[in-house]
Chains A and B, each alone.
Chain A
Amino acid sequence: MANEPKTENELLREEVALQQKQAEARAERERRNEELKNRVSVAAIVLTTALSFIGNVKSDRNDAVGSAKGAADAARRQAAELWAYYQTAISSRATLEVARDRIDLDLSKRGLKQDDPEARRDALKQVEYAERVRDFDRQTQQVFYRVQELEAQEDVAARRALEPAAAAVRYELGSKLITLALILLSVTILSSKRWLLWAGVALGSIGLLVAFDGYFLFL
């Protein structure tokens, strides 16, 4: 009795049961996959949105760095040009002073009286030299003030670039970490490996924290 072959009905019932089991397993797998996909999608939406905002703020900080460095460079160039002019003027002034001193010495050697025509001519020349020396002094003084201002501007601009540059580095690193997290999330969908989702979320969170530090500059 026990070894009696199964009837056709029994075989059919077993096959139906097996098919039902397989269908259930498939449905369960599909449900789990669907759930994974949903989670990946939500994580990806959050990270992509954050990436977009981080991209904007990074771009702003980079612009700030570029603008500050540009201002520093412009101030440096202008100061260097003015300084070259200052030195030329100082050198011309020194030449005039030497000429004036020579006339002085010459006059004293020759022992001419003040009303002597030659002495008068030399005195005239001395006045001209003295006036030019005074003009050089005025010009160089103004140039010096301008150079002072430009050098201060250069310093301030260079310092102004430091903070946004530090922020931009953090935003950049944060963006890269989030991009890597998004890649992991993509692989999660292909491979349906749940642990990859959590790895992606963890990496994305680190990226977000790094990007936040771009704002606060705690570290």
Chain B
Amino acid sequence: MINRALLQVLLLAGIGVNIAFLLINLRPDRPHLARKKHVKVLLRASDPRAKWMMQNELSEFAAAHDLDVQLVLAKDFDEVHDKLSEESKHPSGMLLADIDDEWSDDLRSEKAIRPIEDGAEKDEAPAALDEYLPEGISRARQDGKIWFLPKRAQVDVIAFLKPAVEDAFLKWEKYRKDIELALKEANGHGLPKGYELERNPESWDSYDIFVAAWTWAHEPAPWAEPVAANVPIGARMPPATVRPRLAFRTGRGEDAVRDLVSAFYRQSAKPPDLKDPLSPAVLDYLQWRALWKKHHLLAPECESKDGIESFGVNQLLHDRKVAYAPVNQPDAFWVHGGARRDADPGMRGPSDLTFAPEPVGASLEIDPKTGQPARQGRTFSFEEVHLWAVPVHSPDVALSWQLARFLTQRGLQLRETEAEGMLPIRKDLRTSYQVAFRVDWMQQVLHASYVQIFRGSGDLPSDLDAYEDKILAERDRVLAQPAVTLEAIREAARGQ
């Protein structure tokens, strides 16, 4: 009896199996057994980048995993932090979030995120991590666990116009006496002994910037606005104008603080020096700033009351109003233009745009014995690493892991870099960027960035928030007074 029942069950199972295979034959592509799952991905990205990611990355993953992905955009990482905190209290199906390394500790301590390795198979996560660059790995691994997957890196480099540098190289001697006089007023000496302007901005220091900026500020610039006017070839160009052509971020925002502090680091500052308003590195840089201001070497927009931030600097470069300014990778791609078919129009004559690491800091003060700068600094720029993090209540942590891995695979990092501009965080792309990225200017952006990281880069001080207002106040005090000697700068910095 039991035997008969067993046989009947087996027969029914067999029929069931065949019906199942028949159904599979109707739609052999998988998986469409259930309704699409709705998930959210939190991104700090501009609208064009978010749109590009949705079209070229997320839609493919969503189709393969039967997902309905909704992008949640944040304008900065503070907002990302707030949204993740909210998600931890009121889960809404957030699968993955884009954070930067500065927020990683806070989010972990607030228990707003969970280790990304929770979604990986055993031993899968450590093996996967080997694909990323060391600076990404060090940030991804915390307290013996893999909390994040590196997303991309970002570092400031210098963008400059080649014809502007050629112009400065050819004409600066005309202004040597004036330059010497201006410097003598500040350091009692003038230019360093045997000074010559370096041909290539890759090896410029503070003096080279001053000399070039002086020349630009006094010479008509046929390579600037006339080219931007985009007159027909062979037609008469608009007259060349004279204006300061140097730009830095001079406002009070995050970028301006980063610019200022990295300039201190280029003068050899160490983190404790930032809290000391009278440290030589801080005073050295502020003395240069005072000198630029006195002689109107910075673009007027930078010298305006509120100063300017990244967007303003990028716009000046884009319009060829300045010749030398810091940019990060996405900014560089925006300024140049032409990275993808639907990109914003870039600058006119973009083949003039080139990139180099940040300049080496040097003190204005000259060592009387050697005739050389008393304090020589280095090139330096803060490296920011963006990470993929998993919200603590992710609806499917294994899927979170898979999505982060999908988004950081070689092909997509390469395409995203080419289309939107970023610094890839994968080892294979760093070692092969000169082959993988075949367009000259993109290679130059990446080359300058990797050289910058190699020669001098580091993390932003973790406690900078606590004293950045003091630093900005010190800068404002120094620049509010007209004197340029080190003693005067010290007095102003001291607040007297």
A69-87 residues with Cβ-Cβ distance < 8 A to B are 83
Asked, given contacts A152-B415, A163-B64, whether A134 binds B17 with beta carbons under 8 Å apart, the answer is no
Other-chain contact of A216, B7, B22, B31, B418 (Cβ < 8 Å): B31
Identify which of A3-11, A14-22, A25-33, A207-215 touches chain B. A207-215
CB atoms of A50 and B21 under 8 A apart: yes
CA distance A149 to B20 in the complex (A): 39
Query: Taking the complex as formed, is B35 at the interface, i.e. its CB lies under 8 A from any CB of chain A?
Result: no
Give a binary string over A126-167; 1 marks a CB under 8 Å from any B CB, 0 the rest. 010011001001000100110011011001100100011001
Complex alpha-carbon distance, A95 and B10, angstroms:
79
Complex Cα–Cα for A44 and B30 (A): 28
Whether B56 and A167, one on each chain, are in contact in the complex, defined by CB atoms closer than 8 angstroms, is no
Query: Chain B 155-183 against A: per-residue CB contact (8 Å), 1 yes, 0 no?
Result: 00000000000000000000000000000
B92 contacts A by Cβ under 8 Å: no
Q: Which residues of A contact B17 (CB under 8 A)?
A: 46, 50, 208
Contact B18 A46 (CB under 8 A): yes
CB-based contact A145/B340 at 8 Å: yes
- For B10, list chain A residues within 8 Å (CB): 201
**What is the bound-complex CA distance between A216 and B418, given in angstroms?**
35
Assembled-state Cα–Cα distance A134/B349 (Å): 10
A134 with B21: CB separation less than 8 A: no
Chain B residues in 8 Å Cβ range of A56: 25
A46 to B96, CA, bound (A): 45
User: Interface 1/0s, chain B 25-44, versus A by CB < 8 A?
Assistant: 10011110000000000000
Chain A residues, CB < 8 A from B411: 155, 159
A109 to B419, CA, bound (A): 43
B194 part of interface (Cβ distance < 8 Å): no
Report whether B14 and A57 are in contact in the complex, using a CB–CB cutoff of 8 Å: no
Of listed A39, A43, A57, residue having the most chain B CB within 10 A: A57
**Given the complex of chains A and B, what is the CA–CA distance between A211 and B411 in angstroms?**
31
Report how far A98 CA is from B10 CA in the complex, Å: 82
Are B415 and A53 interface neighbours, CB within 8 A? no
Which residues does chain A contribute within 8 Å of B20, judged by CB atoms? 212
A49 on interface, CB distance cutoff 8 Å: yes
Kindly state the separation between the CA atoms of A173 and B25 in the bound complex, as whole angstroms: 17
CB distance from B398 to the nearest CB of A (A): 12
Q: Is the CB of A215 within 8 A of B24?
A: yes
Interface status of A217 (Cβ within 8 A of chain B): yes
- Contact A216-B15, Cβ < 8 Å, known A39-B7, A144-B439: no
Q: Find chain B residues with CB under 8 A from A180 CB.
A: none
A90 CA / B20 CA spacing, docked (Å): 58
User: Does B22 lie within 8 Å of A53, measured CB to CB?
Assistant: yes
B341 close to A (CB within 8 Å): yes
Chain A residues with CB under 8 Å of B24's CB are: 53, 57, 215
Report whether A53 and B30 are in contact in the complex, using a CB–CB cutoff of 8 Å. Answer: no
- Assess the A60–B18 pair: CB atoms within 8 A: no
Interface string of A192-219 (1 = CB under 8 A from B): 0000000001000000100110011100
A96 lies within 8 A of chain B by Cβ: no
Residue A107 is within 8 A (CB to CB) of chain B in the complex = no
Known: A50-B21, A131-B233. A152 touches B30 (CB 8 A): no
- CB of B438 to closest CB in A, whole Å: 7
Contact A145 B341, CB 8 Å, known A49-B18, A152-B415:
yes
B60 proximal to A (CB < 8 A): yes
CB-based contact A53/B25 at 8 Å: yes
Task: For B350, give the chain A residue with the smallest CB separation.
Answer: A137
Within 8 A of B (CB), among A155-191: 155-156, 159, 163-164, 167
Minimum CB distance partner of A142 in chain B: B341
Q: Does B237 contact A (CB under 8 A)?
A: no
Which chain B positions have C-beta within 8 A of A64? Answer: 28-29
* Nearest CB of chain A from residue B472's CB, rounded to whole Å: 42
Partner of B15, one of A39, A46, A212: A46
- Does A42 sit within 8 A of B, measured CB to CB? yes
Q: Are A156 and B60 in contact (CB under 8 A)?
A: yes
A164 to B27, CA, bound (A): 12
Q: Which residue of A lies closest to B11 (CB)?
A: A42
A residues less than 8 Å from B28 (CB atoms): 57, 60-61, 64, 167, 215
Q: Determine whether the beta carbon of A151 is less than 8 Å from that of B415.
A: yes
Whether a CB of chain B sits under 8 angstroms from the CB of A40 is no
Q: Determine whether the beta carbon of B30 is less than 8 Å from that of A217.
A: yes
A151: B residues at CB distance < 8 A: 415
The reply on A119 being an interface residue by CB < 8 A is no
Is B18 within 8 A of A127, CB to CB?
Answer: no
Whether the Cβ atoms of A57 and B234 lie closer than 8 Å is: no
Within 8 A of A (CB), among B381-437: 411-412, 415, 418-419
Verify if B312 is at the interface (C-beta below 8 Å from A): no
The CA-CA distance from A127 to B232 in the complex, in Å, is 10
- Name the residue in B15, B60, B351, B411 with the highest tally of chain A Cβ atoms < 10 Å from its Cβ: B411
Query: Which residues of A, 43-70, contact B by the 8 Å Cβ criterion?
Result: 43, 46-47, 49-50, 53-54, 56-57, 60-61, 64
In the complex, A164 Cα to B64 Cα: how many Å? 11
**Given A53-B22, A130-B234, is A83 in contact with B30 using a C-beta cutoff of 8 Å?**
no
A43-B14 contact in complex given A57-B21, A131-B233, A155-B411, C-beta closer than 8 Å: yes
Given contacts A46-B18, A50-B17, A50-B21, 8 further A-B contacts (CB under 8 A): A56-B25, A61-B28, A64-B28, A64-B29, A131-B234, A134-B233, A145-B341, A212-B20
Question: Sorted from nearest, which 6 A-B pairs have the closest CB atoms?
Answer: A46-B14, A53-B21, A127-B234, A155-B411, A60-B28, A145-B341
19 A-B contact pairs sorted by A residue (CB < 8 Å): A42-B14, A46-B11, A47-B14, A50-B14, A50-B18, A53-B18, A53-B21, A57-B25, A57-B28, A60-B25, A130-B234, A148-B340, A148-B418, A149-B341, A155-B412, A159-B411, A163-B64, A211-B21, A216-B30
| Interface, chain A (partner B; CB < 8 A) | 39, 42-43, 46-47, 49-50, 53-54, 56-57, 60-61, 64, 83, 127, 130-131, 134, 137, 141, 144-145, 148-149, 151-152, 155-156, 159, 163-164, 167, 201, 208, 211-212, 215-217
